[in-house]
Structure formats: C-alpha cells, structure tokens
Amino acid sequence: MTQPFDLITMGRIGVDIYPLQTGVPLARVETFGKFLGGSATNVAVAAARLGRRSAVISRTGRDPFGEYVHQALREFGVDDRWVTPVDAYPTPVTFCEIFPPDDFPLYFYRRPKAPDLVIHPEELDRDAIAAARIFWITGTGLCEEPSRSATLAALEARAKAGTTVFDLDWRPMFWGGEGGASGDGGATGAAAMAAARPYYEAALRHATVAVGNVDEAEVATGLRDPGDCARALLEMGVELAVIKQGPKGVLAVHRDGRTAEVPPTPVEVVNGLGAGDSFGGALCHRLLSGWELEPMMRYANAAGAIVASRLACSSAMPTADEVDAFLGDG
C-alpha cells in the first residue's frame, strides 16, 4: 500500500434482493433486482462515489454471490483486498418490502452464521487500519465472536489515530432480540440492549465520532432525549456525537462546545433503506474536508435524501456533482 486509504470500513457485506415494485407485499412481488449490500459496505461505496479512496474489511461465502460482491465493489471503485471467502457459510442475502414513505421491513438471511462475523483478529492488517484517515466500525460487528474480538482489536490498533467512527447500527435480531429500543419488543428487546451495551461502551472508548438514531443511541447510553444522548456519548469518549432524528433532522454536538441542528431535506421517499449509509459516506467525505458542523450536516442530509428518493442502496449513492446540484451549489 503506497498511501493510506481515506476510509476503511469494517462490517456487513452481502447481496440485497430488492423488489422492483413498490407498495406490494413480499409474497406478491414478481420481480427483484440484485444489489451490493451491507451497511459498512454501502458507506464505503458512498464515500468512493464522492471521490474518496475507500476499502472494506469483511468476508463472503465462497459462492457465486461472493463473486458478485467482489465484482460490484470493483465497479464502484472500492478496494476489496480485505474481503475474503469463508468455506462454511453462504454469502448473506437481504430482502425488503417497500411501502413509502416510511415502512421498509428488512428480512436478513444470515444463518447459521454470516461470513462477515467470521473475521478473526489475526487476519487484520493493523498497519493499514492505523494509517487510514478514517476507520469506520458498526454495532453489528460486536454481536458475535470472532467478529467482536476482531472489531475491538482493530480499534485498539487504531488507538484513536485520525478519525474513528462508531456507527451505532442497532439490529436487535442479531443480539437475540426483536423490536427497536426503549423496551420495544418486550423482554427480548430489553435483554438484547442489555447484552449489547457493554460492548458498545468498550467500542466508544476507542472512537472519536459516534453516529446513530435515537434508538441506537439509547442502546449505548440508556437515554432517549437527543441532547442527553449526545452529551452522554461525549462523556463516554467521543469528540463528536451525531444523532439522527428522522423527521426532526439531525443533531451534532462536538466536545469543544459547537453544536448544529439541521432540519431534514424534503424529498419524495421511494425507499428509505440506504439513506443512512449515504449520510455516513458523505459525513466521512466532509470530515476529511474539514468542514464546519452545520454545512457538513446539511451535505450529509442531502446525500441521504437523494438515496431515499431512489430504489436501491449501493447503486443509488450520489456523486459529488449530484449532491451539489441537489443543494443548489452546482
């Protein structure tokens, strides 16, 4: 490696099988499209579409879908050197239903175990992780071994060099629960949060930026008020807390006292899935550019809104020209 990557992400990878019809239950859908998927992967794609040099640390099955993942990564300009095959498990697929503007159920096929949870600590390129300008990990990477130990080992190797982002990424079904947070899902939801919180706390000690919605922030902090969540995340070790509030916009609070609260960008929603990953890639892009909080949040909001107005996730990620045009800066 001749120069550090702008962004290395670590986490989920797979294939999204999305309906080509909206407003139709999955049982009645007749046509589907195949897309590269996985939140950490989508963030890397989003940053690459904005001109950043990005790579993914993950694993696939040794199967045709795994071959497709490598092909798609290369087409998007994302380095795939650290995406390796696992013989024992198939490449995950994810289905969704599309009921705009705000109902997009996801169905994950990741059993008996997803290959991206079979990342071992000894396989990590710790020098590359330490050298990357931004390193991005997700909550899902903490849900099972050996991925949990590998994620924490990567954070230790990183030693808070540059910018280290923890995407709070709460998927309760990966922790033995269901529902959202704040008790949603009954006893299993609360138990899943309790199981996850110690590992979230451990990861936050190594992160400089935390990003998540209110449910995700609650998993880490036990709180639900966005301002309280942000302040708690700062106390847990990060320098910047970004709380996504859906229709209320986004709140960003920096340890130095700067804050920004930006309303959502209006758009006709086609598929809300992937908007958060586009937001994340754009956030990384502008963190690398040294932007101030408010314009950075507006830019990331716009990138997310563009994807929400499109059907797919990875292939919907906007270019810099598209974001500029959307904001009226082109």
Could you report the per-residue pLDDT of 51-66, keeping only the tens digit for each? 999 999 999 999 999 9
CA distances from 69 to 100, 135, 238 (A): 28, 21, 32
Q: What was the pLDDT predicted at 191?
A: 85
The pLDDT tens digits of the residues spanning 73-104 come to 999 999 999 999 999 999 999 999 999 988 99
pLDDT digits (tens, 9 = 90+) for 185-232: 555 678 889 999 999 999 999 999 999 999 999 999 999 999 999 999
The pLDDT value given to residue 329: 75
For 241-250, what is the mean pLDDT?
Answer: 93
Classify residue 42 by burial, with Cβ atoms within 10 Å: 0-12, 13-18, 19+. buried
Average pLDDT, the chain: 94
- Asked if pLDDT for residue 179 goes beyond 90, the answer is no
pLDDT at 287: 98
| CATH 3.40.50.300 at 7-327, yes or no | no
pLDDT over 70 (residue 2): yes
- Say whether 56 sits in a helix, a strand or coil: strand
**pLDDT tens for each residue of 121-147:** 999 999 999 999 999 999 999 999 999
DSSP state of 266: P
pLDDT at 184 > cutoff 60: no
pLDDT at 246: 84
Q: Tell me if 19 sits within 8 A of 29, measured CB to CB.
A: yes
**pLDDT given for residue 186 in this prediction:** 56
Cα 195 to Cα 143: distance, rounded to the nearest angstrom: 9
Residue 312: band (very low, low, confident or very high) from pLDDT cuts 50, 70, 90: confident
Q: What is the domain partition of the chain in residue ranges?
A: 7-327
The residues, any chain, with a CB within 8 Å of residue 11's CB and separated by 6 or more, are 38, 39, 40, 41, 57, 58, 116, 136, 137, 138, 140, 141, 167, 169
Which residue in 14, 15, 19, 16 sits closest to 32, CA to CA?
Answer: 19
- Reply yes or no on whether the pLDDT at 35 is more than 90: yes
Spatial separation of the C-alpha atoms in residues 252 and 82, rounded to whole Å: 32
> Which band of pLDDT confidence, cut at 50, 70 and 90, is reported for residue 30?
very high
Query: Average pLDDT for residues 113-122, to the nearest whole number?
Result: 98
Looking at residue 185, its pLDDT comes to: 54
Angle at 73 between CA 68 and CA 75, to 5 degrees: 95
The reported pLDDT for the residue numbered 180 is 55
For residue 183, pLDDT beyond 60:
no
In this structure, are strands 163-167 and 209-213 parallel, antiparallel, or unpaired? parallel
Question: Burial letters for 167-194: b for 16+ Cβ neighbours within 10 Å, e otherwise?
Answer: bbbbbbbbbebebbbbeebeeebbebbe
Q: In this structure, what token pair is assigned to residue 133?
A: 């300008």
Alpha carbon 24 to its chain's center: 26
pLDDT score at 279: 97
- At 69 the pLDDT is 98
Provide the percentage of residues in the chain whose pLDDT is more than 90.
88
